[in-house]
Structure 1
Amino acid sequence: MRLQFSTKVSQVFSGKRQVYKGLGRADTSENRQWAEGIGQQYQLILIAQMQDYLTLA
């Protein structure tokens, strides 16, 4: 399983067109629920970092 970030987010934070984050887990329903939670955490972190980035710009 892996998380895939949008093109905009990938370009802002890595300068690359597309960024993936491997999760090291098999694709099962339990792991999908776990990955959903991880994705939500990443989303909150990235939103906070983007706000900081825009404030400094």
Structure 2
Amino acid sequence: MVSIRQASDAVLRTRDANVARTAAPSMRRERVTLRVAVLVILVLSIASWQLVVWGLRALGL
């Protein structure tokens, strides 16, 4: 499974490398926000698949 850092870094790589290298504090905050957002999305997607699995087991499938 892809780690949170790998997922967020892949998104950040699409930006200008010079801007990312000389990141201002606001850009650093943006990176943290992006990592939190990726983490939330991953947790919610895993939780939703877990609910599907539990539902299928409850139905005996």
**TM-score normalized by the length of structure 2:** 0.48
Structure showing greater Rg: 2
Q: Which runs of 5+ in 1 are unaligned?
A: 1-18
- Pairwise CA RMSD of aligned residues? 1.9
**TM-score normalized by the length of structure 1:** 0.51
Name the structure where strand makes up a greater proportion of residues: 1
Name the structure where helix makes up a greater proportion of residues: 2
Query: Which one scores higher on RCO, CA 8 angstroms, separation ≥ 6?
Result: 2
Correspondence 1:13-24 to 2 at 5 A:
20-21=2-3, 22-23=6-7, 24=9
Identity of aligned residues (%): 11
The count of aligned residue pairs is: 38
1:29 Cα deviation after fit: 2.9
Which stretches of structure 1, 4 residues or more, deviate above 3 A after TM superposition?
Answer: none
